Structure 1
Amino acid sequence: MVVKQAPGGAQEDPAPPVAPPEQALPEQTPPSTEGSRVDVRALTRVLFERLTELPPGTPEHERVRDALIEINLPLVRYAAARFRGRNEPMEDVVQVGTIGLINAIDRFDLSRGVQFPTYALPTILGEIKRYFRDNVRTMHVPRRLQELWVQVSGAMEELTVTHGRQPRVPEIAACLRIPEEDVRACLDAGRAYNATSLEAAQEHEGGLALLDRLGYEDSALTHVEHRDMVRHLLVQLPDRERQIVMLRFFGNLTQSQISTELGMSQMHVSRLLARIFARLRSGNSWEN
């Protein structure tokens, strides 16, 4: 080994040995730029060819395997983007999809002549779907709707790109050739992942709980029609009879107090009230 003498008597460090071309593999995939494009499929094939030559468990085998994982991470992000509407952190979905990518790398057989992305994408999607099915949903949704949701979400993405807007239910149904009712049920099921407590505060609602924003049945509403009907009948009563009703039920006076107020006997007030009640119950207009 030749050691160069640096100025001033100090020795320079020896240059590191250069690995043979067939053993030199990138520690990291270089970023894609306008001036330098990496053919990921070709590089993936080269790495798999190298991987099959290395004994499993060796440092070199692990290094090639890590390189395969890293250069194919864009495939994971592409698959994870299909699930961006499910209110789950995208970082978690990418991590789950990466597990599917690793499983695909470990199972891939280069001799079958299949491109790795074609083989890996279903495995990645399957891992993500399993994650949502087993770990995210707290509400039971029929498996048929779960599977249909994948088709509906894919059709929504395609139609959004085509029309430049959110697709309507009839458009999705026509694209998939399924009934509109199935699309609506699928959209509802696609959002049914978590059950929220009625008392849980909602940040986007100013801290109000869901219970505070729910409507309730007003007991006074049941009497609205009755009050309107009574008002309509009261205007048909003669002045004296209307006054008796007002004093009795709105002034809360007794029959004795009404008789004193109007200068008539209590018995006469009682008979008049009986006649008025009969007319009001029948709903007929008052006849003199």
Structure 2
Amino acid sequence: MLIDTSTSRPSTQTTQAPSHMRRHDDAPDTADLFARLANLEDGPERDAIRDQLVKAWLPMAHRIAGRFRDRGESVEDLRQVAALGLVKAIDRFAPERGAFESYAVPTITGEVKRHFRDRMWALRVPRRVQELRNKVRIARRELTQTPGTPEPSVADLAAHTGLTEEEVSCGLEALESFSTLSLDAELSGDDDGYSLADTLGATDSSFDTVIDRESAKEGLRRLPERERAILYMRFFEDMTQSRIADQLGISQMHVSRLISRSCAQVRAEAMGQRGRRGTDGRSTAV
């Protein structure tokens, strides 16, 4: 739903109170319109009065949206959000509650704040962390109002806000979570510029090899000398099972069984499960 936010003045059909009775220039006297709205069923007449109320109070919604400028969202988008909050306030307001402005201001403000909380964060963070971020942001602004003032430390911010240093640090980290930088963003303005993605490391498959080797060492040490020799000839000298069998004077089938059994035992050792062993501490090879 898009609302025309270009209107900055109330409709000429709106009943205006004398200027000396207004709290602001954009607070029109619309009590009669609200009274009529409350007594109408859904239909063209109710929609027309509702539109008049929106146009009459839209400048106030714009003013509230302006309080949130310079926070990473365009003013026009903020005005749209505030206008939606205004529509909600008009639909929910009951004239017996008192002045519409007293009800509408917190309703519109809450709608804009929810927009920042739910739609503007690049990373989803808990509401408590968002509140810490806001306190830290306001404190930094207050402590650096004087030109030339150095950036406040964590301790300075903690003393100013009444938060702990840990909470301030959490709020400072959240300040960096509000927006993200594309991996394709150029980090250098010259011809040899590079992107953020170029600074990221790649996965080194050798780490897995090192981990596997270290995990297998103890299991290999526990193998009998013949089984260790067979594994060495098979996996490090790349000898075939038939050639190993001829060199050791045993059958190729026996070599195959010893390799399978030794590998299973080493794997069990690496996984923290001791393989089945004979009572003399040797493998139960046949």
Report the TM-score, using the length of structure 2 for normalisation. Answer: 0.49
Q: Greater CA radius of gyration, 1 or 2?
A: 1
Report the TM-score, using the length of structure 1 for normalisation. Answer: 0.49
